[in-house]
């Protein structure tokens, strides 16, 4: 797509990584990382959503390549990391350790922590564990890993998307439909592809139906690929049944460890994946943070209004730093 036809042409151009590799993080996992931009610029770690979603090429376009040294990693079990869709040794605390191991591997003293969706909860958890390693935060599509956040995704969205939710639970045996979290977890952990692949497609298609203001054909096409759909669905359920490996209200309770750092928060009025309440609650708990709730956006960063707000959030932090 040429930039003059690109609805996101206001973002920075996509550039190829100039450094990449696998990092052995233990538990049998090899985590893929890559970097681009100014080698002497302000370091930034971008944390993708999911869990299990992997980083898309779009992510680097939010960062001025002359100013930032952009780094990202595919979290355990997804994207180019191996083994794919593996839940053994896959927990929030392990991901935090992986981020810190990557920072030390690259010789970075402190970096800007940027997260989208699940990446916001992971970014907060990482920052609260390693505040000395953080310059600040940009958090888009905030989730706080609370029970209320999980309950909304699995039950609240059904009130807005009843037909999509019925299609979702129709993939489960009737006896499992009253508790879709445990039902889908059992299906997705089954080693038989005839059982786990239809479940993965059902979960991903429900996500695709609810994530944006209109269907994204590129997203629907990606979900046809089992190497994309299975890690996303299996890890999403693995983290859901384990309450994202966080204590109740942990991220808000420990916010004092990072509240002295700058933070730009972005949310969208019609985001039903991560509703604005979480972003607003975080903003109220973080004096000095900024927040932008996009009037006509949803959850997908490919929505131009959402992408522009995310770019503005990064530029705001860029000026503060």
Owner of token pair 């690259």: 106
H helix or E strand, kind and range, residue 116: strand 111-116
Residue 182 has pLDDT above 80, yes or no: yes
Torsion, CA 111, CA 279, CA 146, CA 223, rounded to 10: -80
Q: Do 123 and 272 share a structural domain?
A: yes
The percent of residues above 90 in pLDDT, for the chain, comes to 93
Q: How many Å apart are CA 265 and CA 202, to the nearest integer?
A: 31
Look up the domain containing 233 and give its range.
148-244
Residue 223 has pLDDT above 90, yes or no: no
Q: Do 239 and 254 share a structural domain?
A: no
Strand 111-116 versus strand 19-26 pairing type? unpaired
The CATH number covering residue 312 comes to 3.40.50.1820
**CB within 8 A of 138, min separation 6: which ones?**
112, 113, 114, 115, 263, 264, 266, 310, 313, 314, 317
In contact, 227 and 84? CB cutoff 8 Å:
yes
Cα 97 to chain centroid, rounded: 17
Among 69, 127, 70, 118, residue whose Cα is nearest residue 96:
127
Q: Do 100 and 18 share a structural domain?
A: yes
Q: Do 128 and 14 share a structural domain?
A: yes
What is the structure's pLDDT at 4?
A: 56
Q: How many Å apart are CA 224 and CA 214, to the nearest integer?
A: 18
For the annotated catalytic residues, the residue numbers are 117, 271, 299
Residue where one domain finishes, among candidates 210, 244, 278: 244
Q: Do 289 and 172 share a structural domain?
A: no
Q: Do 89 and 38 share a structural domain?
A: yes
| Structure tokens given for 316 | 């705001």
Q: Which segments of 49-100 are extended strands (E)?
A: 68-73
What is the structure's pLDDT at 125?
A: 98
Domain count, the chain: 2
What is the structure's pLDDT at 152?
A: 96
Cα 224 to chain centroid, rounded: 20
Per residue in 120-170, pLDDT (tens digit) is 999 999 999 999 999 999 999 999 999 999 999 999 999 999 999 999 999
- Within 10 Å of residue 298's Cβ, how many Cβ atoms? 21
Per residue in 30-47, pLDDT (tens digit) is 999 999 999 999 999 999
Per residue in 281-302, pLDDT (tens digit) is 999 999 999 999 999 999 999 9
What is the structure's pLDDT at 218?
A: 83
Strand 263-268 versus strand 290-294 pairing type? parallel
Residue where one domain finishes, among candidates 179, 214, 244: 244
Q: Do 264 and 215 share a structural domain?
A: no
In contact, 60 and 34? CB cutoff 8 Å:
no
pLDDT confidence band for 1 (50 / 70 / 90): very low
Q: How many Å apart are CA 136 and CA 276, to the nearest integer?
A: 21
Q: Do 233 and 187 share a structural domain?
A: yes
What is the structure's pLDDT at 232?
A: 97
Could you say which DSSP state residue 41 is in? Answer: S
Give the pLDDT mean for 243-255.
97
Torsion, CA 116, CA 122, CA 123, CA 127, rounded to 10: 170
Owner of token pair 């953080």: 134
Residue where one domain finishes, among candidates 222, 244, 266: 244
| Structure tokens given for 65 | 């390549």
Per residue in 194-206, pLDDT (tens digit) is 999 999 999 999 9
Per residue in 2-27, pLDDT (tens digit) is 455 889 999 999 999 999 999 999 99
Per residue in 67-111, pLDDT (tens digit) is 999 999 999 999 999 999 999 999 999 999 999 999 999 999 999
């Amino acid at each position: 797509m040429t930039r003059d036809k690109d609805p996101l042409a206001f973002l920075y151009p996509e550039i190829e990584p100039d450094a990449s590799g696998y990092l052995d993080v233990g538990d049998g996992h090899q985590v893929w990382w890559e970097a681009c931009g100014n080698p002497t610029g302000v370091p930034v770690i971008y944390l993708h959503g999911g869990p299990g979603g992997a980083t898309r090429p779009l992510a680097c376009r939010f960062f001025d390549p002359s100013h930032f040294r952009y780094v990202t990693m595919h979290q355990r079990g997804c994207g180019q990391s191996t083994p794919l869709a593996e839940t053994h040794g896959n927990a929030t605390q392990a991901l935090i350790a992986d981020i810190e191991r990557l920072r030390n591997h690259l010789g970075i003293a402190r970096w800007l922590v940027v997260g989208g969706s699940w990446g916001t909860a992971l970014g907060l958890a990482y920052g609260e564990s390693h505040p000395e390693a953080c310059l600040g935060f940009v958090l888009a599509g905030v989730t706080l890993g609370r029970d209320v956040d999980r309950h909304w995704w699995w039950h609240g969205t059904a009130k807005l998307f009843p037909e999509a939710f019925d299609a979702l639970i129709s993939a489960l045996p009737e006896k499992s439909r009253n508790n879709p979290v445990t039902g889908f977890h059992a299906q997705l952990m089954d080693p038989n592809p005839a059982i786990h692949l239809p479940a993965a497609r059902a979960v991903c298609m429900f996500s695709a139906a609810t994530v944006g203001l209109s269907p994204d054909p590129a997203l629907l096409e990606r979900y046809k690929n089992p190497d994309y759909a299975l890690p996303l669905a299996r890890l999403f359920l693995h983290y859901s049944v384990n309450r994202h490996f966080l204590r109740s209200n942990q991220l808000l309770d420990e916010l004092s460890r990072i509240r002295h750092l700058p933070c730009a928060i972005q949310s969208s009025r019609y985001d039903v994946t991560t509703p604005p309440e979480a972003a607003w609650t975080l903003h109220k708990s973080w004096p000095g943070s900024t927040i932008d709730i996009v009037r006509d956006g949803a959850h997908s960063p490919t929505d131009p209004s959402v992408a522009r707000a995310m770019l503005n959030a990064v530029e705001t932090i860029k000026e503060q730093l």
